[in-house]
Amino acid sequence: MKAAISDWEQFASRYGESDTEEFSLSRLNPGDVLRVVTEHTNYLFTVASNREVRLQCSRADRPSGNVRISGGGRMEFTFLRNQKLTRYRTTSIQAIVHRQQAV
């Protein structure tokens, strides 16, 4: 529990007094692409439907495939690993690039 509080305090101190806005996942629509950049990895999320997102990573040792994303100071998502629902959290996000599907 202490680690979770520490993460939150770190996030709040970094973004609390800045003009940086959190990216709202409710902005995502089918066909949209979300690129999340951390210090060591690029995560490319392609929205297939309201509940299904396809993940590609720049590193082979990271999850890929269908995931369900959630937000915060780090990107968090769940996926199936060996038939078991698994949660994954990235390191601190350095950049988020959202490309909307043309209407």
pLDDT at position 29 is 93
- The DSSP element (H or E) to which 65 belongs, if any, is strand 65-70
What letter does residue 4 receive in the DSSP assignment? H
- Regarding predicted confidence, which is higher, 23 or 9? 23
Q: Between 87 and 102, whose confidence is greater?
A: 87
Dump pLDDT digits (tens) for 56-71: 999 999 999 999 987 7
User: How far, in Å, CA of 95 to CA of 100, rounded?
Assistant: 16
Between strands 84-89 and 76-81, the pairing is antiparallel
In this prediction the pTM is 0.72
**pLDDT tens-digit readout, 84-101:** 999 999 988 889 999 998
Where are the domains positioned within the chain? Answer: 25-99
If you search the block for the tokens 């995502």, which residue do you land on? 28
- The predicted structure's pLDDT at residue 36: 92
